[in-house]
Amino acid sequence: MITLESVSYAYPRTGRDAISDITLSLKRGECVLVSGRSGSGKTTLCLAAAGILEHEYGGRKSGSVAVNGKDVGDYRDLSDLSTSVGILFDDPDSQLIFTTVEEEILSALERRGFSPEEVEERLSRVLAVTGLDGLKDRPPHALSGGQKQRVVLAITLALGTDILILDEPTSELDEKGTDSIVSLLKELKAQGKTILLVEQKYPRLAGVVDRLVILEDGKIRTEGPADRVLSDETARRTLIPDFSGIRVGNTPEKENPPIIRTEGLSFRYGDEEALSGIDLEIAPGEFVAIVGENGSGKTTLIKHFIGLLRPEKGTVRVDGKDAAKAPVAELAHSVGLVFQNPDHMFFADSVFDEVAFGVDNLKIPDRERAVIDALSTVRLEHLRDLYPRWLSRGERQRLAIGCILAMKPPVLILDEPTTGLDGEESREIIELIKRLQGDGHTIIMVTHSREIAEECADRVVRMEAGKIVSDSGAGA
Amino acid sequence: MGEILQYIPGNGLFHRLHPATKILFIIVVSIATILSSSIPLLVAYLLLILLLALAGRLLKPVLQQMLLVGLMSIVLYLVTILTVPRGTVIGYLVPGFVPFIGGSIPVTVEALIVGTVLTLRFAILITAFQLFVISTQPRDLVHTMERARIPADYTLMFIIALRFIPTLQIEGKRIHEAQLARGYHPGEGFIGRIKSVAPVMIPLVSNSIGRATLLGLTIDIRGYRSRTRTRLRERTLGIMDRVAIPVMVVMGIAFAYAFFFTHWV
């Protein structure tokens, strides 16, 4: 269905090949999973296989790509190619144009030469299959990240192409959401669809994937059925995060007074109750994971610790300060919050200046030293003069942590720090976090991955619908 | 969060009109407004449009927009006061008792009249445009423009610009929060304000540029620029359009007559 013959490609104005010498072919009904570190060429491979590089990108190309036996260059344009190949990009927002979910799907369907009856039929079927029936009148900006991903997937499926190229379709979904996509993929495979899938969640996808491809620096490192690929130790660590031996040497200072304490904390967005009656104490030096599904209130809770949200009822005390009243800039001395998407913070011209921003804002003494120390902790000192947005996703995530670290807050909060990272990179981030705990920081990590929470944190707090439903450290 | 210029689902007067009728409405209203300088006439236009908004059950979002009109009117009055200093002086912007500069900027009746006319024009144009945008689904607009043989690129440019307003608002808020958490504090004074824009605007613009590439690919892949299309759930000219179009044509002719042959406008 798709054949790549020694494909190499370098983006314009870069000397380096983003992918090099890729030879890969996908048979009908096969599901191939591509994984690898951030920046290893996964997305470029998707663009190559869909014929997008050929039709829309400049840069240096070699090798050949064929779809259904026909060279992608022989298709008239992308619209022509898209009758054979459906592609889903990793950012759902840029694939939604219209004002409601239904209008979005309808607008895509009516350009395909289907009869009106078939358009209606496909529309209602795909709404049902992807569970979007209840959301069909919602505008895109009123959808969560996970819901947007489902809408984009629905459009790709509605078009009914035999080949699907899916770039991280579940990155913003929680465990339940991911599982529903996995069962959908199984169904598609049973229908004979060929699927090229880029994902970091191999353990959840193992049941549907036929073959694995591990990319390393733009080249295929290993490829083949799961048992063969997993026998390669490096590939194994990429696919399956291994957090063994990570939980050592922690000494939470339980006898000291808590560094964070909430009592009866409640908050609502408009009419919607987001937090209700949260009582939580966190001791200095503890590593607490807050887990729960999308919309369970995790992010809402942590925003209260740094004053970005103020409680409607109840109290929040952080490091001796009243977090319901103290200004954010003052709380930032005590609490460092690393947001999920590092791209929401980078604006400086160099890695060094980026880190210095927070240091200058808080007037931390010995600026140069503070920045260099933070960069060396996150192992980016060799990149200090680079433009932050040129770094790989994994490096950007570490830089985001470095930016906050340099401000020397005793409490570090990380919101989904392993999103979009492979097993190896996830382990690196967790190791970094553990080192920071060893240095005396209190760590709060928000995640929807139960594995990471249970294997790495000292204590797991589970939230559901704005309440704490279990706390492994309660009463300890 | 107030949603600026976003489609509001509904079934009122404006929702049921064909996009072409609404475009004609905007054209007639714009020409009549821009060419009129009679305050009573402009007030009448504004009242008429507000009545139509009420009939279309869209008065509330339209009135919310009036805050913008109010702010803009202050600017318009200031500009006209500064630029129309000759005429019947009724006072001074800087009162006479202020030492040295007292009585320096005269406020004239003529300036106030011009300011009022400009404010009314602005209010009418904004309201008419808003009524069109919040009652028209982009898909219907695309279809209408296609029929008029206007290249899809222009229509898509327009609807994408509108579609991303709330997305940028949300993203701007997230970026602002991320920078607050880094101890960012908006600077003081004019220069400080300008400088403090960078930590929010640079990530916002950089992320949007990254997004534009994918958006362009999406448009090509889905074939939104192709001319072929299955015709279903299309808007057709309904009874209301058949009434509204002749009414607007007659009003347009009446206005043209009044403009060229009388002194009413």
Helices (H), ranges, A74-206: 78-81, 101-109, 116-129, 145-158, 175-190, 202-205
A190 and A71 belong to one structural domain? yes
Residue B1: the pLDDT is 42
Domain match, A186 and A275 both: no
DSSP helix/strand/coil, B120? helix
Choose among A196, A199, A235: nearest CA to A215: A235
Q: Does A329 lie in the same domain as A297?
A: yes
Same-domain check for residues A215 and A360:
no
Per the CB < 8 Å rule, is A111 touching B174? Answer: no
Domain end, chosen from A239, A271, A289, is at A239
The identity of residue A177, as a single letter, is G
Do the domain assignments include residue A250? no
Residue A252, in any domain of the structure: no
Assess whether A93 and A38 both reside in one domain.
yes
Indicate if A221 and A125 belong to the same structural domain.
yes
Say which DSSP state B243 is in: H
CATH number reported for the structural domain that contains residue A134 in this entry? 3.40.50.300
Sheet holding A287-291, edge to edge: A335-338, A411-415, A442-447, A287-291, A459-464, A467-471
Question: Which site among A98, A363, A446 would you substitute to test the B interface, given the most B Cβ atoms closer than 10 Å to its Cβ?
Answer: A98
**DSSP conformational letter for A90:** S
Which residues 6+ apart lie within 8 Å of B42 measured at CB? B33, B36, B117, B120, B121, B124
In the block, residue with structure tokens 């200004």: A327
Residues A203 and A84 in one domain: yes
- Among the partner residues B6, B159, B174, nearest to A344 by beta-carbon distance: B174
User: What are phi and psi for residue B116, nearest 5 degrees?
Assistant: -65, -40
**ipTM metric:** 0.90
The sheet with strand A260-269 has its strands ordered as A272-282, A260-269, A313-318, A321-322
CA pair distance A318, A324, nearest whole angstrom? 10
Residue A137, chain B, CB below 8 Å: the answer is yes
Are A463 and A322 contained in the same domain? Answer: yes
Tally of structural domains, chain A: 2
A347 lies in the same domain as A437: yes
Residues A181 and A289 in one domain: no
Render each residue's pLDDT in chain A as its tens digit; 476 residues.
999 999 999 998 887 899 999 999 999 999 999 999 988 999 999 999 999 999 999 999 999 999 999 999 999 999 999 999 999 999 999 999 999 999 999 999 999 999 999 999 999 999 999 999 999 999 988 898 889 999 999 999 999 999 999 999 998 888 889 999 999 999 999 999 999 999 999 999 999 999 999 999 999 999 999 999 999 999 999 999 888 887 765 556 567 889 999 999 999 998 889 999 999 999 999 999 999 988 899 999 999 999 999 999 999 999 999 999 999 999 999 999 999 999 999 999 999 999 999 999 999 999 999 999 999 999 999 999 999 998 988 899 999 999 999 999 999 999 999 988 999 999 999 999 999 999 999 999 999 888 889 888 999 999 999 999 999 876 54
Which residue bears the tokens 């049902």?
A: A128
> What is the β-pairing status of strands A31-36 and A163-167?
unpaired
Cβ contact B103:B95 at 8 Å:
yes
Residue A425, in any domain of the structure: yes
Predicted TM-score (pTM) of this structure: 0.89
User: Helix (H, G, I), strand (E, B), or coil: what is residue B154?
Assistant: helix
> Is A404 at the interface with chain B, CB within 8 A?
yes
User: Counting one residue from A and one from B, how many pairs have CB atoms under 8 Å apart?
Assistant: 167
For chain A positions 48-77, those within 8 Å of chain B (CB to CB) are 52, 56, 77
A362 and A234 part of one domain: no
Confidence check: pLDDT of B2 > 70 = no
Is A208 within the bounds of a domain?
A: yes
Range of the domain at A194: 2-239
State whether B211 and A91 contact (CB < 8 Å). Answer: yes
Cβ–Cβ under 8 Å, residues A284 and A444:
no
From B209's Cα to the closest Cα of chain A, the distance in A is: 11
CB contact under 8 A, B185 and A329: yes
Give alpha helix (H) positions in B36-134. 39-55, 59-64, 66-83, 109-134
My answer on whether A71 and A30 are in the same domain is yes
